[in-house]
Chains A and B, each alone.
Chain A
């Protein structure tokens, strides 16, 4: 049985990250959302201590060099230390992201950051990607979330975390100077193209799958992208100093010649070639539809209405990918304000809204990386460049539900009887709470059981 949500509840719980115990609900929900589009900070204080990817890469190169030079016994110790550093940086970044979500005064835009980080998903599996996961979000996503899609696209595809994750950094043009030299020196070693990033840009980041590109387009695009690489951490890499997060263009591995992609010829024979392709992809109608569909699915329903997708796609196209305009169109769409909660929260959404509900603005010993792991959605580690699914079927499952109950209990345990779940239910759900939930909370044997029940109630699991 679904309980209808008020406009206030929709703004706070569907568009935002969930009500906070210590916040007054907005009197004008729509205005509250629109205002956030001007109040957002790309680098709020929670992110101040996030290490920059250029620094991470430089340290990593140094560590790897020392490891190579060390004797066997020291090598093992150095390897262990390296692993710990990678893990610690990842855990710290998970905490930073969560703190930012708990304390943000612009939770709607914060949600958009999470949406885009998942759209341009990296997966923290290779050490370098794991260590740069937080930096990627800070450097490539956060600055562009209210700007033009094209700028975010280029920042993402030039970020070392993406270039390493999708194997672009080492891809070489088969006819490039570097490959010709290498072939002369060691003909048995094959060096050349890797098409992974090119394919996923077309399939996942821009046009979307089955939108009409061919294998030849993928290969041509992969050739255009050759040369897009990552600093190797040595001093001789002068490009490392250019403030580009560790991105570097290497002309000697770029495939020479003009490229033909989706029927258009790209004659630029350097870094600008792939940039020109990305500029075109960023404003293509298929990209507009792809992005509009994902946004509508995220905010409105697993099967969003075609009318809404169309509205958002038109706004995207008309504005040349101005995301601010697209969000405004979303806020103005009646489809987004339908009263029934159609979205089942992902583990991340559920955890963040739970912590906000309990009024947390510090983590107090909570290890977010571990928590999200146990809830089944390890942060920045979807395991595939498609990111995490955004439909209920992927999250509403027997064992996953049980884990939320177990986690709810753990979250409320330290609170004892500090909070009254009956009062909290009204405050958090703003009237959208069923008689069954109220009864269950009232009858609970203890204050903490009542709180746990509130966090796993049908109303709180959905938005």
Chain B
């Protein structure tokens, strides 16, 4: 019995242990780590993974266009924003994969609806009531199905019937054990508060030896510390925000990407040998307009870029069915046209990670999606 079971056992009684679902249909690995980093605010894929060789890119972006000489060249078509120096090293060692002109099934331009679709795995906003990551937990064996959000609250992707924890370092003075124990007793009869409290106590114990500094590198380190624990969570979500660059984009996007880069390198460094068994998905709700707007930024668009990172990712390449940026090729005359489905990318990645049947995974994670073709060779076999 691991500690979490012990907590459950002592808190609610043995009945719960007996009724935990047993999973027999998914022959999953038990030591994989999956991390979903969401970029809230519609990250500009075109200035992150830059299609420098597309002749229309510089025209559309004007002063915002990034010259290939100022970026990190990936191949004959794409270059990476210079702020992503550590991520570029992962790419060079074959541990990072970029996917371009990719979008969820959502086609309007509301952040909040777009994030809801990305996180629930539906095709339209608020149609699906729980998150795809929570539904994934139900497919995983018990040793593998603990999930945590590195935030004080639980983001939509992790909400649902499976129990999920949350942790974020705070500067508050710790409450004495006596008070914690009494609160536990006080909540014993309140189903909602009781389960939240058990999860909080468990996460709190795990974080005991971690620095409370809240910069991106430390957040990566903190997350890795949890994921490294023998009985720790294996599924995690990290939220980043501030990607909505309607104005002064150049400076803001550089800062955002620098933070993301530090978060990623913090994760990789602290995960150590576990990095080999870790897959990180980085994605945003939608992209930004192909052309610069009138205020040194970009407005809400459609397709963007996503990243798959990890020790055994089949990386060192950019996957794109490039639609081109000529006016006639733009989606609704303004946005990068989506040619890959983000749901397919996520399902294919998760399927390869956990050796879960792709069809079963699609049906569970993205039940409304019609597109189901597996993208192969995302993870080395």
Q: Name the CB-closest residue of B to A170.
A: B295
Please report whether the interface of chain B is mostly helix, strand, loop or mixed according to DSSP: loop
Complex interface residues of chain B between 168 and 214 (CB less than 8 A to chain A)? 168, 170-176, 178-180, 182-183, 185-190, 192-193, 196-197, 199-201, 203-204
Q: Name the CB-closest residue of A to B294.
A: A192
Given known A-B contacts A407-B172, A458-B190, A199 and B294 have beta carbons under 8 A apart: no
**Which B residues lie within 8 Å of A383 (CB)?**
40, 241-242
Instruction: Tell me, in angstroms, the Cα distance from A210 to B127 when the chains sit together.
Output: 13
Q: Determine if B171 and A374 form an interchain contact, defined as CB atoms under 8 angstroms apart.
A: yes
Complex interface residues of chain A between 291 and 309 (CB less than 8 A to chain B)? none
Given known A-B contacts A376-B152, A399-B166, A188 and B200 have beta carbons under 8 A apart: no
Q: Name the CB-closest residue of B to A436.
A: B189
From the candidates B108, B125, B196, name the one contacting A401 in the complex (CB within 8 A). B196
**Which A residues lie within 8 Å of B174 (CB)?**
406
Residue with the greatest number of chain A CB neighbours at <10 A, chosen from B166, B182, B199: B182
From the candidates A193, A370, A393, A403, name the one contacting B159 in the complex (CB within 8 A). A393
Instruction: Tell me, in angstroms, the Cα distance from A456 to B197 when the chains sit together.
Output: 12
Instruction: Tell me, in angstroms, the Cα distance from A351 to B261 when the chains sit together.
Output: 36
Q: Name the CB-closest residue of B to A189.
A: B63
From the candidates B153, B193, B334, name the one contacting A399 in the complex (CB within 8 A). B153
Minimum distance in angstroms from B289 CB to a CB of chain A: 9
Q: Does B321 contact A (CB under 8 A)?
A: no
Q: Determine if B294 and A190 form an interchain contact, defined as CB atoms under 8 angstroms apart.
A: yes
Q: Determine if B172 and A445 form an interchain contact, defined as CB atoms under 8 angstroms apart.
A: no
Instruction: Tell me, in angstroms, the Cα distance from A318 to B244 when the chains sit together.
Output: 38
**Which B residues lie within 8 Å of A210 (CB)?**
108, 113, 125
Q: Does A174 contact B (CB under 8 A)?
A: yes
**Which B residues lie within 8 Å of A374 (CB)?**
170-172
Q: Does A453 contact B (CB under 8 A)?
A: yes
Q: Determine if A386 and B297 form an interchain contact, defined as CB atoms under 8 angstroms apart.
A: no
**Which A residues lie within 8 Å of B110 (CB)?**
199, 203, 209
Contact bitstring A234-258, B, C-beta under 8 A = 1, else 0:
0000000000000000000000000
Q: Determine if A1 and B189 form an interchain contact, defined as CB atoms under 8 angstroms apart.
A: yes
**Which A residues lie within 8 Å of B241 (CB)?**
383-384
Q: Does A449 contact B (CB under 8 A)?
A: yes
Q: Determine if B193 and A436 form an interchain contact, defined as CB atoms under 8 angstroms apart.
A: no
From the candidates A171, A215, A443, name the one contacting B295 in the complex (CB within 8 A). A171
From the candidates A125, A167, A170, A399, name the one contacting B167 in the complex (CB within 8 A). A399
Given known A-B contacts A436-B189, A458-B190, A192 and B293 have beta carbons under 8 A apart: yes
A: contact size bracket: 35 or more
Q: Does B44 contact A (CB under 8 A)?
A: no
Q: Name the CB-closest residue of B to A191.
A: B294
Instruction: Tell me, in angstroms, the Cα distance from A406 to B168 when the chains sit together.
Output: 14
Complex interface residues of chain B between 219 and 249 (CB less than 8 A to chain A)? 241-242, 244, 246-247
From the candidates A1, A174, A405, name the one contacting B179 in the complex (CB within 8 A). A405
**Which B residues lie within 8 Å of A405 (CB)?**
175, 179-180, 183
Q: Does B146 contact A (CB under 8 A)?
A: no
Q: Determine if A384 and B112 form an interchain contact, defined as CB atoms under 8 angstroms apart.
A: yes
Q: Does B165 contact A (CB under 8 A)?
A: yes
Q: Does B5 contact A (CB under 8 A)?
A: no
| Residue total for B at the interface (Cβ-Cβ under 8 A) | 62
Q: Does B67 contact A (CB under 8 A)?
A: no
Q: Does A444 contact B (CB under 8 A)?
A: yes
Given known A-B contacts A190-B63, A195-B299, A397-B196, A403 and B170 have beta carbons under 8 A apart: yes
**Which B residues lie within 8 Å of A393 (CB)?**
154, 159
Q: Determine if B182 and A444 form an interchain contact, defined as CB atoms under 8 angstroms apart.
A: yes
Q: Does A410 contact B (CB under 8 A)?
A: yes
From the candidates B40, B186, B294, B300, name the one contacting A171 in the complex (CB within 8 A). B294
**Which B residues lie within 8 Å of A195 (CB)?**
293, 299-300
**Which B residues lie within 8 Å of A315 (CB)?**
none
Instruction: Tell me, in angstroms, the Cα distance from A376 to B239 when the chains sit together.
Output: 14
**Which A residues lie within 8 Å of B178 (CB)?**
445, 449
Instruction: Tell me, in angstroms, the Cα distance from A171 to B299 when the chains sit together.
Output: 12
Instruction: Tell me, in angstroms, the Cα distance from A403 to B153 when the chains sit together.
Output: 11
Q: Determine if A193 and B152 form an interchain contact, defined as CB atoms under 8 angstroms apart.
A: no
Q: Does B62 contact A (CB under 8 A)?
A: yes
Q: Determine if A167 and B193 form an interchain contact, defined as CB atoms under 8 angstroms apart.
A: no
**Which A residues lie within 8 Å of B63 (CB)?**
188-190
Q: Determine if B190 and A174 form an interchain contact, defined as CB atoms under 8 angstroms apart.
A: no
Q: Determine if B203 and A193 form an interchain contact, defined as CB atoms under 8 angstroms apart.
A: no
**Which A residues lie within 8 Å of B334 (CB)?**
215
Q: Does B41 contact A (CB under 8 A)?
A: yes
Instruction: Tell me, in angstroms, the Cα distance from A189 to B292 when the chains sit together.
Output: 11
Instruction: Tell me, in angstroms, the Cα distance from A395 to B200 when the chains sit together.
Output: 14
From the candidates A167, A397, A403, name the one contacting B154 in the complex (CB within 8 A). A397
Q: Name the CB-closest residue of A to B168.
A: A399
Extra inter-chain contacts (12) besides given A209-B110, A393-B154, A409-B176, CB under 8 Å: A174-B294, A194-B293, A199-B110, A209-B113, A384-B41, A384-B112, A393-B159, A396-B153, A398-B197, A401-B193, A440-B182, A453-B179
Closest 4 CB pairs of A and B: A192-B294, A398-B200, A398-B199, A376-B152
- Of the A-B pairs whose beta carbons lie under 8 Å apart in the complex, a sample of 6, sorted by A's number, is A376-B153, A386-B111, A400-B153, A401-B193, A402-B175, A449-B178
